[in-house]
Amino acid sequence: MPVANPQLLAEKILERLRAKPGQLLDPGKMAKSLNAAREQIIESIALLRSWGYVIKANHKRQYRFIAAPDSFISTEISYRLRTRFIGKRIHAYQAVQSTNSIASQLATAKAPEGTLVIAERQTRGRGRLGRDWYSPEKVGLYASIILYPKIHPTAAPGLSLMTAVALADTIGSYDDMEVKIKWPNDVLVSGLKVAGILTELSAELDRIEYVIVGVGININQTRADFPDALKSVATSVRIGTKEKIRRVEFLQRFLANFEKEYLVFKKSGMKETRRKILKYSYLQNKEIRLKLGRKTVSGVVIDIDETGQLILDTKDGIMAFNAGEVTTH
């Protein structure tokens, strides 16, 4: 059977070109082994180039793979992705308003668990507490993952915390950086925010219909890239490592860590996750102020419990909180 789908054929050719780095491949021979016409091979090479792959040809029109683009296209994300179900379905866009909104629509239409929605930029990226999430192209990572966990809605904050662990492990895998998790869902490097998580759910009182875990990560920004309002509070993985990061590789590492943590969370709830949260906790033993709507509570952070609540030692005794905005000074 000839390969009719041009995208599929292009991916097969790419696989072959990459399997033998540096080696020249002949379009006639590829055509034979892929049961396609030589012209189709040449068209597919043009398609791959239009996606950003660098493929050189010699005077005999034999092809050699040179480099892959660092852009969020599904072919590149899937290439050697080591997960079982997270990121196995990909919806990749150049620009969207918000990947979380698209993921919600897909979840309503019952997209498979683990479906990834990713965009090069967002025009209305959303942060927590009704804030915007600054989402410029080329430097950041904006993605949402669809989940259908069979957990009680009150356990959902644990999903943000397990995502924070997966992010912290991923960032920490690059360099010896001081990565911390600031409850409830910020990831910090050297005390500055490098990533945020927006977990949204559709649920009944006692049952979750779906969860969207949205992550925004500053990857390749230099200090000069941040707008003035963010300069003193934000950082990027690149600023931490002092090296430009391949964003697709970061995503693949994150998806693998995310899957691992999600499976642990599904099996043992917050028990295991909590151990890691405490290891990364930025707030442990710190004197903080927690803003809850119009009210503010002060106290010392003594724990994060097994439901993901922040435990504060306040002047009125020990108290537990499941939401709020923390300031440390």
Stretch of 19-27, 65-73, 141-149, 259-267 contacting ligand BTN, by CB under 6 A: 141-149
User: How many Å apart are CA 54 and CA 68, to the nearest integer?
Assistant: 6
Q: How far is the CB of 203 from ligand BTN (least distance, A)?
A: 19
Q: Looking only at residues 72 through 101 of this chain, which bind ligand BTN when binding is defined by CB under 6 A?
A: 98-100
Q: How far is the CB of 121 from ligand BTN (least distance, A)?
A: 10
Check binding of 184 to ligand BTN (CB under 6 A).
no
Check binding of 291 to ligand BTN (CB under 6 A).
no
Q: Which of 27, 184, 216, 324 binds ligand BTN (CB under 6 A)?
A: 216
Q: How far is the CB of 307 from ligand BTN (least distance, A)?
A: 21
Q: How far is the CB of 100 from ligand BTN (least distance, A)?
A: 4
Check binding of 196 to ligand BTN (CB under 6 A).
yes
Check binding of 136 to ligand BTN (CB under 6 A).
no
Q: How far is the CB of 226 from ligand BTN (least distance, A)?
A: 15
Q: Which of 127, 136, 149, 172 binds ligand BTN (CB under 6 A)?
A: 127
Check binding of 133 to ligand BTN (CB under 6 A).
yes
Q: How far is the CB of 233 from ligand BTN (least distance, A)?
A: 11
Check binding of 252 to ligand BTN (CB under 6 A).
no
When the beta carbons of 33 and 232 are compared against ligand BTN, the nearer one is 232
Residues that bind ligand BTN (CB under 6 A): 98-100, 122, 125-128, 131, 133, 142-144, 186, 196-198, 214-216
